[in-house]
A and B are shown apart, each in its own frame.
Chain A
Amino acid sequence: MTEERFISQVREQQEPLRRFLLALCNGDDALADDLAQDALVRAYVASGSFLGLSKFSTWLFRIAYNCYIDYCRKNKPEKTGVEEAQALPAQETSDASFRYQQLYQALAKLPEKEKAAISLFYFEELSIKEISAILNIPQGTIKYHLSTGRQHLKQHLQTWNS
């Protein structure tokens, strides 16, 4: 894959990729962008090994997810945890920013796999099959993570609303 072709593919995928990482990082956009850059460089280095057996986006998301997991292993979990989400500045008092803050706080409480499954399914609107390929876990397990993730999210959102 040439550099130009790679860049054109990245141009199409950068927004979904950054959004996925933003959800995983509980709204910390600087960290999400750093991880996205890291993932893109890794993808570029390994682009020769991309055989086209899956979609480019699936391959890229998988690399990004691995980058995020590596980051979590290297750093203390609280850095991407609830405290970080709560520390988000409430720049505006608009409903939208309040909703995002609520959402990130609820996402921060979820285990990594559930958070990733929820993000890919609802925010990126990917199929179970694609999510299974990205997270490298069976489709049945993805459905389980989605179900438990929804329950956990509902509980957390209800707690804050009450």
Chain B
Amino acid sequence: MEQLEDFLRNNKPVVKDDPTFLLKTRQRMEAVEGIKAEVDRQRSHGCKALIVALIAGLAVGSAATAIAYLYPVDANSVGEGLLDSVRAFLTTWKQYLIYFVAALAIALGLVLTRSSKNPIRL
């Protein structure tokens, strides 16, 4: 057994001298940095878009509320038109709508469960 141990210690695998190894590593690291920067840039764009949407929503909502207060509408006059047809549609198709919403909720749940897994294992 000692002979085997000596054999192993005296015959360590020899790594080829490759001066480009570190250079290649550095290039791959720079590529990773590029991807990181792109992801950060897209995330920051997403944040900006969210803030703009929030401000726009607040502005439109405020304007709509202000208009509703300033120019009140008689609900009965509208009720005979659009609201009645919406109500009739919901009454007729409500069970299918419930199925649709339930299917969407399940699909969303599945998608969230799958995407929460960490892609990089160390």
Contacts and interface: CB of A to CB of B under 8 A. Distances in A.
Interface string A85-117: 000000000001001100110000000000000
A121 B74 CA distance: 87
Contact of B22 (A14, A23, A49, A99): A14
Contacts of B24: 37
Contacts of B18: 33
Given A150-B1, A157-B4, A18 B15 contact: yes
A15 B22 CA distance: 11
Nearest to B27: A37
Main secondary structure of the interface of B (DSSP, over half): helix
Nearest to A26: B13
A153 interface: yes
Contacts, number: 82
- The range of chain B's interface size is 20 to 34
Contacts of B120: 42, 45-46
A37 B16 contact: no
B11 A100 contact: yes
A41 B29 contact: yes
A51 B12 CA distance: 31
B11 A46 contact: no
Interface of B: 1, 4-5, 7-9, 11-16, 18, 21-22, 24-26, 28-29, 32-33, 120-122
Given A37-B25, A40-B29, 7 more contacts: A11-B22, A14-B25, A36-B21, A66-B121, A103-B8, A122-B9, A150-B4
Interface of A: 3, 6-7, 10-11, 14-15, 18-19, 22-23, 27, 29, 33, 36-37, 40-42, 44-46, 49, 62-63, 66, 70, 96, 99-100, 103-104, 118, 122-123, 150, 153-154, 157
